[in-house]
Amino acid sequence: MKLKIALLAGDGIGPEVTQEAVNVLNAVAASGGHTFEYVPLLIGGAAIDAHGTPLPDETLQATLACDAALLGAVGDNKFNKLAPSERPEAGLLKIRSELGGFANLRPAVAYKALADNSPLRPEITEGADIMFVRELLGGLYFGQPRQWDKQTGRAHNTMVYTQEEVERVARIAFDIAAKRPKRKLTSVDKANVLECSQMWRFVVDQVAKDYPTVTVEHQLVDSMAIHLMNRPRDFDVVLTENLFGDILSDESGVITGSLGMLPSATLGGKVNLYEPVHGSAPDIAGQGKANPIGAILTAAMVLRFSANLEREAKIIEDAVVKVLEAGYRTSDIARGDIAGQTKVSTMEMGRLVLDRVEAEL
């Protein structure tokens, strides 16, 4: 199998974790006789520094010519004073909208080996396995008009959804739920206040009629934030709009033990976009402290959704579990007070996973 992958490493820890993901992909390619070609491209702060824009046209065109895009992270504190449209994050939002993927899958799994890393008690997290389906191209992120009028001291953003936008992402979430053992879908909204959410709920109920095997429930986003922490095992597929999904998926890092563990895949557009959930982590960038597991699990999603290599994706996911069970920890998941843990760097963690992947391929 041949795959051309746009490599959008980005800023901060982005390049550090992306390299570890690529190493694992290369092992899969070497053992299976696959050809993965990488096209390194600038995005975010790195692109602003080189070309004055967070998404150069060359990056966009070259990515559109690839089969998949693997992104590290964008953002740096030095751009904090820029307007939203000029910041590194604008490059990410633009490429998301140009690639067209609207269904952002963000799995959050409670690993047994990390049970003591979560601030939640092990009996709360044990067995938790949630698939967030975050709508990625609508809502407040892209709604017009938007402005900060410094003259009048008034700023506004607009939350907009069309029924079609809700329906297409809901169908993907229901398709996923119908294939999972629990077959449950929780739709999260703010239907007690927002018209967008009332329409969201209406459309989800319409789509639900086509999926009689899936149990559907609706939750308001504010109480969902606490239900997720109190009883994460009760959730299976969680479908929600763009901003709510952004917030709840970061929150789910608590279930897993670290934001650095979470992968994502964005489907439904011209080119699938794969990125870990975490950001550029300027506080630890360049120190070899970043946890590459989120990026490595993202590589597994590339294999699953863009290469149809399910067995290899599973080998990567299992290798991560084995490394955690052997006690290896980057600093975000290390606990000095627990015996049997070995603290490792980003590269060491990448190598440990790679060794186990190579042994199983």
Contact with ligand IPM (CB under 6 A): which of 8, 9, 29, 93?
A: 93
> Which residue, 186 or 252, is less far from ligand IPM as judged by CB?
252
Which of these is catalytic: 11, 76, 189, 190? 190
Of residues 166 and 248, the one with the C-beta less far from Mn ion:
248
Residues 47-86 that bind ligand IPM (CB under 6 A): 75
Given the DSSP bridges, would you call strands 68-73 and 2-10 parallel, antiparallel or unpaired? parallel
Residue list 276-305, contact with ligand IPM (CB under 6 A): 277, 279
Strands 154-156 and 147-149, by their bridges, are antiparallel
Per-residue interface string for the shown chain with Mn ion, residues 210-249, x marking contact by CB under 5 A: ------------------------------------x---
Minimum Å gap between C-beta 12 and ligand IPM is: 11
Read off the amino acid at residue 336: G
Instruction: Please state the φ and ψ torsions of residue 154, each to the nearest 5 degrees.
Output: -130, 135
23 vs 280 by CB, closer to ligand IPM: 280
- 59-98 footprint of ligand NAD as x/- string (CB under 6 A): --------------xxx-------------x--x------
3-state SS class at 344: coil
Three-state secondary-structure class, residue 330: coil
Which of 257, 294, 299, 352 is in the footprint of ligand NAD by CB under 6 A? 294
Measured CA to CA, the distance from residue 214 to residue 133 in angstroms comes to 15
Paired tokens of 113:
């080996």
Which residues, numbered 5-44, are part of the site for ligand NAD (CB under 6 A)? 13, 17
Per-residue CA distances from 329 to 156, 179, 326 (Å): 43, 33, 9
Q: Which helix (H) or strand (E) holds 74?
A: none
**Active-site residue flag, 11:** no
Residues 31, 36, 37, 39, CA torsion sign:
negative
Verify whether residue 141 is a known catalytic residue.
yes
Q: Is 89 in the site for Mn ion (CB under 5 A)?
A: no
Going by their DSSP bridges, the two strands 129-135 and 103-109 should be labelled as antiparallel
- Which tokens in the block code for residue 95? 């490429």
Structure tokens, 342 = 């070995």
What's the min distance (Å) between Cβ of 180 and ligand IPM? Answer: 23
Task: Identify which of residues 232 and 276 has a Cβ nearer to ligand NAD in the complex.
Answer: 276
**Is residue 89 a contact point for ligand IPM (CB under 6 A)?**
yes
The 3-state DSSP class for residue 289 equals: coil
Closer Cβ to ligand NAD, 236 or 241, answer by number: 241
Plot region of 238 (φ>0 → left; ψ -120 to 50 → alpha; else → beta): beta
User: What backbone phi and psi angles, to 5 degrees, belong to 328?
Assistant: -80, 135
Catalytic residue among 11, 76, 236, 246: 246
Is 278 near ligand NAD (CB under 6 A)?
A: yes
Contact of residue 290 among ligand NAD, Mn ion, ligand IPM, none (CB under 5-8 Å per partner type): ligand NAD
Active site (annotated) includes residue 222: yes
Residue numbers in the known binding site for substrate are 96, 106, 134, 222
User: Where do the H-state alpha helices sit in 289-360?
Assistant: 293-306, 310-325, 346-360
Q: Is 284 in the site for ligand NAD (CB under 6 A)?
A: yes
Residue type, 28: V
> What are the φ and ψ backbone dihedral angles of 291, each rounded to 5 degrees?
-80, 120
Paired residues of 332 in beta bridges: none
Residue 93, binding choice from ligand NAD, ligand IPM, Mn ion, none, Cβ under 5 to 8 Å by partner class: ligand IPM
Give contact residues for ligand IPM (rule: CB under 6 A).
Answer: 75, 89, 92-93, 246, 277, 279
Give contact residues for Mn ion (rule: CB under 5 A).
Answer: 246
